[in-house]
Amino acid sequence: MSSPAETLAFLREVRLFKDIAAPELTVVAASLRERPLKRGQVLFREGEVGEEMFVVQRGSIVISKPVTGRVEQVLARMGSGDFFGEMSLFDRSPRSATVQSDSDATLLVLDREALRRLTELSPRAAAAFFQALVQVFIERLRASGDLVAEVTRWGLEATGLDLDSR
């Protein structure tokens, strides 16, 4: 288990928290709790209810979406400093994908209560947090467009379907 100082040092390197000043970041660090994951362990499945987001402190996380039977499409891989699960944090909707660990990993859990405390304590810190979050949202939106294009291209190549000449 990491010490508070280690957690704080780690958060300073995380993009989501990089613009938050030290005093507020200390409060954030104190409100996070660690969640260890064994290799292969599922953190949550698509459709489950959740109200937390996770920051990967150590290890590798795979986010996937069921396709057929035992097969799922890998949507993204998360490493140290990446975060996921934020959609349920805001809208309390069921999880949109399944998350599992590809190696022994440690996650930091941020729940709604911690986020509320940060907002009350320092609106400026909260604004910095949301600003960074939106930046990452935009990048992910663009990446999901690329993924759709890649999957479509895969389908065309794998089936030999040629629409150019139609």
Partner 1 sequence: MKETDASPTPPRRAKLELLVRHDADDGFDVRQIGSATAFVQSRPHRVPDESWELAEMPSRMAGQPSYILKNTTTDRFLLLTEPEKFLWQKMDGQTSLQEIATAYVLRYGAFDFDIIPALMRKLQRAQLLTLRPSSRLRQVLARNRRRPMVKAIESGLTALERINISSRNVQRAFTAAYRWGGFLLFTPAGVIGCLLLAVAGLVAGVKLWHAGGDIVAGFGGHALRGLIIVKLLFFLTVAAHQLVHGLALIHYRRRVREFGFTFLHGFVPTFYVDVTDIFMTSRRARVVTAVSGAGVHLVLGSAWFLVALFAPLGSFTQAFAAASGIIQWQAFLIALYPFCFIEMDGYHVLVDLLGMPTLKQEAMSWVGSLVRRGASWRMGRQEAVFALYVVVSTLSVAAFFAFNVMLIVHARS
User: How far apart (Å, rounded) are the C-alpha atoms in residues 71 and 23?
Assistant: 46
C-beta closer to partner 1: residue 41 or 135: 41
146 binds partner 1 (CB under 8 A): no
150 lines the binding site for partner 1 (CB under 8 A): yes
Q: List the one residue from 40, 79, 123, 145 that touches partner 1 (CB under 8 A).
A: 40
Rounded alpha-carbon distances, angstroms, from residue 102 to 10, 43, 64, 72, 144: 21, 11, 12, 14, 21
Least CB distance from residue 75 to partner 1, whole Å?
9
Q: Would you give the DSSP letter of residue 165? A: T
What does the angle CA 114 – CA 3 – CA 85 come to, to the nearest 5 degrees?
A: 40
**Minimum distance between the CB of residue 59 and partner 1, rounded to whole angstroms?**
14
Q: How far apart are CA 78 and CA 103, in angstroms?
A: 11
Q: Is 104 in the site for partner 1 (CB under 8 A)?
A: no
Compare residues 3 and 165 and give the one whose CB is closer to partner 1: 165
Q: Which range, of 22-30, 36-44, 105-113, 126-134, touches partner 1 by CB under 8 A?
A: 36-44
**Residue 4: partners with Cβ closer than 8 Å, 6 or more residues away:** 26, 29, 30
Pick out residues in 107-136 that bind partner 1 (CB under 8 A): none
Contact 88, 52 (CB under 8 A): yes
Terminal CA-to-CA distance of the chain, rounded, Å?
A: 60
Among 9, 30, 42, 49, which residue interacts with partner 1 (rule: CB under 8 A)? 42
Number of residues that bind partner 1 (CB under 8 A): 28
Q: Strand 98-101 and strand 42-44: pairing?
A: antiparallel
Q: Which of 46, 102, 104, 111 binds partner 1 (CB under 8 A)?
A: 102
Q: What residues make contact with partner 1 under the rule CB under 8 A? A: 40-42, 62, 64, 67, 69-74, 100, 102, 150-151, 153-162, 165-166
